Amino acid sequence: MPSTFASTEAKTKAKEDFKHAMLTSINKEVAMLAKLYVLSIKFQDTNSKCSILSAMFESTLKQRVDRSCYYPGTRIVKHIYNHTVALDPMREFLTNLAVNY
């Protein structure tokens, strides 16, 4: 019996490690998108800005391995809010995420 318990415990630990690694990777990807979004504003690159907003939107639609969805964390939201104007589309998107989910 102890080996079965140890095996189950090891599988659970492996799943948790994998989930943490995936969330860390996703968070880094979305953080990079947020930085690129701010850069596209500074360069006045509307095409990039729209593409990045679309990528952020798409990232919230895809289900993760554990069937949950990913939403940008507070650091990412603060970065966007600190570097955009009041009526910016990314702000609107993040506000809608916070209100609806």
The most distant pair of C-alpha atoms in the chain lies apart, rounded to whole Å, by 64
Q: Is pLDDT above 70 for 46?
A: yes
CB 30 within 8 A of CB 70: yes
Q: Name 69's bridge partners.
A: 63
CB 66 within 8 A of CB 21: no
CA-to-CA distance for 101 and 98, rounded, in angstroms? 6
pTM of the model: 0.75
**What is the average pLDDT across 29-47?**
94
Give domain limits for the chain: 2-100
Q: What is the pLDDT of residues 5-28, one digit of tens each?
A: 567 777 777 777 766 666 677 788
Q: How many CB atoms lie within 10 A of CB 91?
A: 15
